[in-house]
Amino acid sequence: MKVFVLLLSLLRCSSAAGKERQVYPLILEARSTASKPVLRINDKITLNLEKSEVLAEQLHFVTATTEGHEIEMVNTSSIQENIYHDSHVRSSLMLQHKEGTLHVEGIVNRKLRIKPIPEGERSAQGHMLHSLYEVQERSEDPANTGAYMNNHRRPYGRVQSANGRWRPTETRPGRYPVPQTTMSTVSTMAARKTPHGFVVDLHIISDEEHNQNFRSKEDLIVYLAIMVNGVRLRYLEMKTPSITFKITGMTMSRADSFASHILGTIEAYETLDKLGKYIHENNIPGNPDVVFLVTNRDMSTIRGGSLDKNIAGLANVAGVCTRHKVAMGEDMAPSFDGVFVMAHEIGHSLGARHDPRGTGECAWRHGFLMSYEDGGPNKYRLSSCSMEAIRINTEKLSDGCLSESATRTPHMVNPNVMPGQKITKEKYCILVMKRTLKEKRIRSDAFPKTPLELTTQCKMKCCYTVNPQTWCQTVDLLDGMECDGRSTCRRGVCGAHN
């Protein structure tokens, strides 16, 4: 049994719709430290920033095309060190110094975003011009929300009132059935204690319409890291367990095989189902807790025989760490307007339903994260009922789900011989891909591809063929392996090493 919760949107927003101002942000050196810079954006906005951690040091980066998938491990340390947040106003920013000039990009607060204007006129002090612009985060229609079960292809969790209008059934967080796949035995649940912390490993898929807004994979990684940092700030009040997020993988999709297209949109329910199958077919490396699709396309569903585009997100309730761990949401890149949608849908994945419509402290009208009312500061935090629902669901998760993933590095025991001198590229690829091929029940052997543009960077591709398609993963050449016919690799450098 799968439970869905959808997010409906009245407004299709873009950064162009808001007011725009030009500013020259600068770091106030006298009040700053290396890890806690104070950023002055203008006379009215000064941010007290702290370093953020939202990226795995070694990130699985997948490029998915019609010909196959290429997987490479990206070291994110240079990106991670430039991501900051202000917990008080919920800022999420990338700060970089390029050619001696400060570049600032990201989320300033709930309404304002900032980005550099490289072609703009510099200030008298040489500071770069930036655009400070308004973005209306996606707004939702509370009359059209509800819970959905996968075995009913269209809404079941709604009832018809006396006036003929459909309204959602009220739910009490923490007191609803969750998919049985998230439950262990009664005795196990009774014995488990609530963990102190839960690092949710995320794999984010950027669909073709979304990632075409970025010039490089590094730009996409930066953008999604800023988004997830914004999501993280909406869970700061959650304790026992504390909830944080780490991006362990990304897919840059150039062929959206998981999407169900209809009249220029993607049908939400069918796409979510196909995402589940996409994962089951081993298209997502590692074992993330949640897989989230970010789309630049309009999401839709069919209601009463008509196409309804007033939907911005969809998720399986309590799907985290189960085969239903998929969620999706719209984001009009590069506006970051999908942060609320992502935070809201991940809340469903973690076990929270919508806040109830009663009069208590968790009431819908208070406008917390799991409501669609605008509750001002409340919109940036979970209600106590949502926290309790997540807490109850977390107690049912396995130890494997709750443990933080780690990147494992092979241990070389012979200091006198370079590892690349003891193994051929062919054998190395067979060993590197052995687990992947076994999991996918593929009997063919892996083989290397060594284009010069890769080997001179001390990299190569390990590939395998299934039917007409060839799938490749980019790997590092071992120290001591030949890289251009004359030179060898040492610590990632192709050259003549002694």
Residues assigned a catalytic role: 345
How many whole angstroms separate alpha carbon 25 and alpha carbon 93? 12
Q: Can the peptide bond before residue 334 be classed as cis, meaning omega within 30 degrees of 0?
A: yes
How many whole angstroms separate alpha carbon 283 and alpha carbon 286? 10
Q: Residues comprising the binding site for Zn(2+)?
A: 344, 348, 354
Residue 135 has, within 13 A of its CA and on its CB side, a CA count of: 27
Q: Residues comprising the binding site?
A: 344, 348, 354
Find residue 130's DSSP bridge partners. 23, 116
Question: What DSSP assignment string belongs to 350-394?
Answer: HT--PPPSSSSTT-GGG--TTSSS--GGGGGS--HHHHHHHHHHH
Residues, the chain: 498
Helix (H) or strand (E) holding 455: helix 452-455
Q: Which residues contact 340 (CB under 8 A, 6 or more apart)?
A: 137, 138, 369, 379
Where do we find the tokens 């806040």? 355
How many whole angstroms separate alpha carbon 490 and alpha carbon 120? 42
By the 8 A CB rule, do 460 and 450 touch? yes
DSSP classification of residue 224? H
Parallel/antiparallel/unpaired status of strands 299-303 and 265-267? parallel
Residue 346 has, within 13 A of its CA and on its CB side, a CA count of: 30
Q: Which residues contact 119 (CB under 8 A, 6 or more apart)?
A: none
Where do we find the tokens 């079960």? 149
At 495, which amino acid appears?
G
By the 8 A CB rule, do 135 and 335 touch? yes
Residue 371 has, within 13 A of its CA and on its CB side, a CA count of: 27
Number of H helices, E strands in the chain: 11, 30
DSSP three-state, residue 254: coil
